[in-house]
Amino acid sequence: MMRKLANIVLLLVAVSLCYGLQLSKPHHGDLIGPIPARGKLGDTVVGRGFEIRAEKVEFARKLKADRFGDSKVLTTGGIWAVVTVEFAARAQSTTVAVASWRGPTGLTYDQTERLSFTDGLLPVAIDPGLPKKARLIFELRPDEASDAVVLVSEKLMSALDSQAEIWLGPVAIGPDGLPPGTVDTLDMTQPI
Amino acid sequence: MTAQIVDRESATSERKWRRRSLWSLVLLIPLSLAIESYDSVKALLGDSDLFPRRVAWGESARFGGSDWKLTDLRGAFGMSNLPPDSVPVLADFKVKIGDPDLQNRWLGCKVMLIDKDGRRWSPTSIVSLKATDNVQTCISAIFSGAKSGDTLNLRETFLVPKEATKSVRPAVGLASERPHFLLFQLEKD
């Protein structure tokens, strides 16, 4: 009788162990996904092929940009977030092409394509020993501005390659629903 | 009695085979790993410039069916509108075409500069210097329709930090020759 009971207990333990293993098994997408290199605003985040340091984040209601010599003002239903970064290549020349903004609720915004002709936007070609500044520009909902993470990688499918994850920290939201530092217009024609 | 002998014999042969099977694993596991990873290793080797073949200054080397020779490597100092502490570097090659099938033999052509620490620079698009009409880049030469016996002048422009200009050496990689690549030495080497 005791032996039967012990067997049943052993079976239950084995079943729960297997179930636990199944639950904790990483998803296939996580196993072959990008490898995060984490840091915060101002840190130099070092990936396999490139280094990145986010210098500042600015918010604006409108952006001023040049298009074929014409000055254009871009409005938005949300806000513009402009992250100024400095890149450096590590062992060889490379190109950094992809950035996105992950808000506190997990909503993720790709960098905007509305300013495609402006200088200093991705993709940027970088060489070893020659740091280069760039702007990452996102159009997002104001409530996604605080505690955001900017994700930067060389290619869109950065499987098993590093992806910089830069935490931008908390941003207070003012009574008008916007971050307090939000300016009316940011001039993207100015050099970085 | 007979049954016992048979039992004992089968037990010994079973033990023998068990041991053989275990030992064969020592061979089979590495073998299966090798077969399994063969394609990946082949792709990795075919995609990277790993083993340099040094070419002395003034000499030419057979590579991708043609004879490659470095004719000049110089910095273009004093240009404006460049990032601080950077220098454009021009690498000039003379290539005597042997096998004219450049679209296959020169596929994935990559000219680069390598410094003493192993850092690699690809050609830049920031600097564009005027060149005479008969100067081409490696990629444009692929589609130039050059015939066997022709000599092509190739030039690539790089942007490197000032501190690296002394130690950079030009290198050429082609898909048909990878993982080997040519590493050209300078006169002073």
Same domain, yes or no: B66 and B143: yes
Same domain, yes or no: B166 and B134: yes
Q: Residue A132 and residue B119: Cβ atoms within 8 Å? A: no
What local confidence, expressed as pLDDT, does residue B9 receive?
80
**Minimal CA separation from A88 to chain B, in Å:** 12
- DSSP labels for chain B? -HHHHHHHHHHHHHHHHHHHHHHHHHHHHHHHHHHHHHHHHHHHHHHS--EEEEE-TT-EEEETTEEEEEEEEEE-TT-SSS-TTEEEEEEEEEEE-SS--HHHHTTT-EEEEE-TT--EEPPPSS------TTEE-HHHHHTTTPPTT-EEEEEEEEEEEGGGTTT-EEEEE-TTTTTEEEEEPPTT-
Same domain, yes or no: B23 and B92: no
**Which residues of chain A are within 8 Å of residue B119 when distances are taken between CB atoms?**
91-92, 128-129
Percent with pLDDT over 90 in chain B: 72
Is residue B189 domain-resident? no
Mean pLDDT by 10 residues, chain A (192 residues): 93 97 88 92 95 95 86 92 95 94 95 82 91 94 93 88 94 86 90 84
Q: Does domain A33-187 fall into CATH 3.30.70.1140?
A: no
Chain A residues with CB under 8 Å of a chain B CB are: 91-93, 125, 127-132
**Which residues of chain B are within 8 Å of residue A128 when distances are taken between CB atoms?**
119-121, 161, 164
Is residue B83 domain-resident? yes
Cβ distance B122 to B172 under 8 Å? no
What local confidence, expressed as pLDDT, does residue A86 receive?
96
**Minimal CA separation from B117 to chain A, in Å:** 9
What local confidence, expressed as pLDDT, does residue B167 receive?
92
Residue B10 binned pLDDT confidence (cut-offs 50, 70, 90) = confident
Structural domain that includes position B4: 1-47
Domain boundaries, chain A: 33-187
- Is pLDDT of B185 > 90? yes
What local confidence, expressed as pLDDT, does residue A180 receive?
86
- Is pLDDT of B186 > 70? yes
Same domain, yes or no: B27 and B106: no
**Minimal CA separation from A51 to chain B, in Å:** 15
Same domain, yes or no: B88 and B149: yes
Same domain, yes or no: B35 and B64: no
Q: Residue B86 and residue A125: Cβ atoms within 8 Å? A: no
What local confidence, expressed as pLDDT, does residue B180 receive?
95
**Which residues of chain B are within 8 Å of residue A131 when distances are taken between CB atoms?**
83
**Tens of pLDDT along B133-182?**
788 999 999 998 888 999 999 999 999 999 999 999 999 999 999 999 99
What local confidence, expressed as pLDDT, does residue B2 receive?
62
Is residue B150 domain-resident? yes
Same domain, yes or no: B86 and B131: yes
Same domain, yes or no: B21 and B78: no
Residue B54 binned pLDDT confidence (cut-offs 50, 70, 90) = very high
What local confidence, expressed as pLDDT, does residue B1 receive?
52
Which residue of B lies nearest to A94 if distances are taken between CA atoms? B122
**Minimal CA separation from B96 to chain A, in Å:** 28
Report how far apart, in Å, the C-alpha atoms of B33 and of each of B37, B40, B150 are: 6, 11, 47
**Which residues of chain A are within 8 Å of residue B164 when distances are taken between CB atoms?**
128-129
Is residue B85 domain-resident? yes
**Mean pLDDT across the stretch B83-108?**
92
How big is the A-B interface in CB pairs under 8 Å? 40
Same domain, yes or no: B5 and B77: no
Same domain, yes or no: B5 and B71: no
Same domain, yes or no: B114 and B36: no
**Which residues of chain B are within 8 Å of residue A92 when distances are taken between CB atoms?**
112, 119-122
- DSSP labels for B92-137? EEEEE-SS--HHHHTTT-EEEEE-TT--EEPPPSS------TTEE-
What local confidence, expressed as pLDDT, does residue A59 receive?
95
Same domain, yes or no: B103 and B42: no
Which residue of A lies nearest to B84 if distances are taken between CA atoms? A130
- CATH code of the domain covering residue B93: 2.60.40.1240
Q: How many domains does chain B have?
A: 2
